[in-house]
Chain A
Amino acid sequence: MARFVVRRTGTALLVVFATSILVFLGIRAIPGNPITVLAGQQEQNGESLPDLKMREWIIHKYYLNHSLPMQYLHWVWLLLHGDFGENQHQQPIGQMIADRLPITLELAALAVVVAAVIGIPLGVISAMRRGRPTDHTTNGIAVVAMSMNHLWFAFLLITWFAIDLRWLPAGGYRSVHHPLANLEHLVLPVIVVSYGIAAHLIRQTRTSMLDTLGSEYIRTARAKGLREKAVIGRHALRNSMLTVVTVLGLTLGGLLAGAAIAETIFGIPGYGSMLITAVGNRDYPLVQATVLIAAVGYVITSFLTDVVYALLNPKIRVS
């Protein structure tokens, strides 16, 4: 197990390193003067906007008069010291991220819980009722959900629940200091983020439950007279959860995408909507920082998924 974790940590660090190089080179590959790009401003009539003092400051800060590898090392040095630079309005990016990330994490956590609570039981029921109407209905709902786009579904929900029925607010965000208002504003966004994950979970749980139910030890468990509840709960479900954990880990990338769309539509000041706005405004310093942190977060979650998987599955631990 220790060897597995060490090796997996090595791969994760390698991926983070490669990602940071990609992000660094990506920003340098943007056509135009790197000073202008790093100031997050656009060139107008071939002339860059930043004034002389700011130019010198940016050259100094990002080592632009040094070689590319030196620039990279210095940038990483700054990042490791928590200095993410400033965006196009000279606001510290580190602070912006610290303000907005918790909101997205709240949304994402709620969405994962909702998706798991809906998706896994439906998948199990679907597998146990295989070929019957319940199975077909569940499967049909899952395929439709997988094909729906977040945009359309979000607008449908807004039209029904916010405009026609007036049950829920159509957008906005309240801080966690007002828990009820906070949750009220998050109901629709959480549904929008979670339905796709729930659909994937239904299909994946069903497949892996069917795999498990066909195996020898389930037949043995039934043959020795265990009640169906014990067969499903203690034997089949436990083993099929292995695959489900992996799938849940892999959907986390899609989670950020869903959160970005939901936050944009519902006007939630979260991390995802910040990324989208930054891209729209061509605020490159902010894009650089947000993309890098998102990628690192994804690497960490996939690392944790693999470790949990190894903890659950003795076969991987040994080999």
Chain B
Amino acid sequence: MTLIDVPVPFTSARARRFRIARARFLRRPVAVAALVVVCLFVLLGAFGPLISPYDPNATDFNHIMGHSSWAHPLGTDQLGRDELSRIIVGARASLVVALAATFLSLLIAVPLGIYAGYRGGWVDTTIARMNDVKLAFPGIILAVGLAAILGPSLRNVTLALGIAGIAHFLRVARGETLALREQNFVKAAVVSGASSWSIVFRHILPNMTSTLLVQTAIHIPGVILGEALFSFLGLGVRPPTPSWGVMVSEGQTYIAMAPRLALYPGAAVTIIALGFNLLGDGLRDALDPRTVR
């Protein structure tokens, strides 16, 4: 029994691995910049309404579609609302949907994927086949169909994007479990009589966290783009609540007069998505020494 009761050297090895990964990550300026962008985005989403210079919904009919000035750095929109404030406050819809939908996908996909990969047999076959069916369904079509059934609202967009994202993480979790199950330390734990629960929680789950982390970072841009798209199409956040997708949609009307009304919030979506993509690349390089670039 004492064979597996050796968490102490294990933890220190893990701590050393973490230090190495952190050092590798910090050596890449692009990855660090991406991390800064992502942190800024999270801060904007959390404290946006507190730091925005104006009330995002306050109209000012003396400054309709005003150009950028000291008072309004990004100008004002068709109702005289401050564009910068609306972009700052609009970050929240993107952040909430991105986090909640991704969390929902992970919550369903990871236990199912581990179960399928660990148990094998007919459970695995069933889940894998079901996943094939879901993969055959383009995510965006699935999400649009779900949104049509559920009706337009922020919650339903989150649900639709969360469900559409399950297949991705299910495939990752199942594949990782299948690979880890064949590793010697898992076999040793099985031989020494550890229960399935303890094997899953002490050996399999901790060893797939880095892969899941990378996959999450790569997955989030798609969700953010999805939220913007849904809001643009009128299936998500409803005006006047500021959301980047809604702002692009409203700005479309004035594209010939003031293209910036559509271009600034669109640029915000792009910058955040780029941040997450580069963060994912940086994390992968830092956590997986096998990748050669």
* Interface pair A155/B235, CB less than 8 Å apart: no
* Interface pair A29/B149, CB less than 8 Å apart: yes
* Interface pair B255/A149, CB less than 8 Å apart: no
CB distance from A235 to the nearest CB of B (A): 21
B221: CB under 8 A from chain A? yes
For the A-B complex with A143-B277, A152-B269, A287-B145 known, give 11 more contacts whose Cβ atoms are closer than 8 Å.
A15-B133, A26-B146, A27-B149, A131-B293, A149-B229, A151-B232, A152-B263, A155-B252, A159-B255, A260-B140, A275-B144
Chain B residues packing against A (C-beta within 8 Å):
129, 132-133, 136-141, 144-149, 221, 225, 228-229, 232-235, 245, 248, 251-252, 255-256, 259, 262-263, 266-267, 269-270, 273-274, 276-278, 281, 292-293
Q: In whole angstroms, what is the CA distance A26 to B234 when docked?
A: 21
Q: Given the known inter-chain contacts A147-B273, A149-B266, A155-B248, please indicate yes or no for A294 contacting B141, CB distance below 8 A.
A: yes
When each residue 266-302 of chain A gets 1 if its CB lies under 8 Å from chain B and 0 otherwise, what string results? 0000000001101110101001000100110011001
Q: Quick one: which of A1-45 are within 8 Å of B by CB?
A: 11, 14-15, 18-19, 22-23, 26-27, 29-30
Q: Quick one: which of A68-119 are within 8 Å of B by CB?
A: none
CB distance from A69 to the nearest CB of B (A): 20
B281: A residues at CB distance < 8 A: 143
CB distance from B122 to the nearest CB of A (A): 16
* Interface pair A276/B138, CB less than 8 Å apart: no
Q: In whole angstroms, what is the CA distance A284 to B148 when docked?
A: 8
A237: CB under 8 A from chain B? no
A231: CB under 8 A from chain B? no
* Interface pair A30/B149, CB less than 8 Å apart: yes
CB distance from B27 to the nearest CB of A (A): 16
* Interface pair A279/B148, CB less than 8 Å apart: yes
* Interface pair B133/A18, CB less than 8 Å apart: yes
CB distance from A137 to the nearest CB of B (A): 13
* Interface pair B137/A298, CB less than 8 Å apart: yes
B137: A residues at CB distance < 8 A: 19, 22, 295, 298
Q: In whole angstroms, what is the CA distance A150 to B262 when docked?
A: 12
Q: In whole angstroms, what is the CA distance A285 to B132 when docked?
A: 26
* Interface pair B233/A279, CB less than 8 Å apart: yes
B235: A residues at CB distance < 8 A: 279-280
A256: CB under 8 A from chain B? yes
* Interface pair A163/B133, CB less than 8 Å apart: no
CB distance from A259 to the nearest CB of B (A): 11
B140: A residues at CB distance < 8 A: 253-254, 256-257, 260
Q: Given the known inter-chain contacts A155-B248, A156-B263, please indicate yes or no for A149 contacting B133, CB distance below 8 A.
A: no
Q: In whole angstroms, what is the CA distance A155 to B254 when docked?
A: 11
A253 CB contact (under 8 Å) in B138, B225, B277? B138
* Interface pair A147/B221, CB less than 8 Å apart: yes
A316: B residues at CB distance < 8 A: none
* Interface pair B229/A151, CB less than 8 Å apart: yes
B233: A residues at CB distance < 8 A: 264, 276, 279-280
B263: A residues at CB distance < 8 A: 152, 155-156, 159
* Interface pair A155/B262, CB less than 8 Å apart: yes
Sample (9) of A-B pairs whose CB atoms are under 8 Å apart: A19-B133, A147-B221, A147-B276, A151-B229, A151-B248, A152-B266, A152-B270, A256-B138, A279-B144
B232: A residues at CB distance < 8 A: 151
Q: Which residue of chain B has the shortest Cβ distance to A278 in the bound complex? A: B148
A291: B residues at CB distance < 8 A: 141, 144-145
CB distance from B11 to the nearest CB of A (A): 35
A276: B residues at CB distance < 8 A: 144, 233
Q: In whole angstroms, what is the CA distance A22 to B267 when docked?
A: 37
* Interface pair B141/A295, CB less than 8 Å apart: yes
A254: B residues at CB distance < 8 A: 138, 140
Q: In whole angstroms, what is the CA distance A278 to B136 when docked?
A: 22
* Interface pair A158/B267, CB less than 8 Å apart: no
Q: Which residue of chain B has the shortest Cβ distance to A12 in the bound complex? A: B136
A201: CB under 8 A from chain B? no
Q: In whole angstroms, what is the CA distance A22 to B139 when docked?
A: 14
* Interface pair B252/A265, CB less than 8 Å apart: yes
A187: CB under 8 A from chain B? no
Q: In whole angstroms, what is the CA distance A221 to B212 when docked?
A: 39
B147: A residues at CB distance < 8 A: 279
B293: A residues at CB distance < 8 A: 131
* Interface pair A155/B270, CB less than 8 Å apart: no
Q: In whole angstroms, what is the CA distance A160 to B112 when docked?
A: 48
CB distance from A136 to the nearest CB of B (A): 10
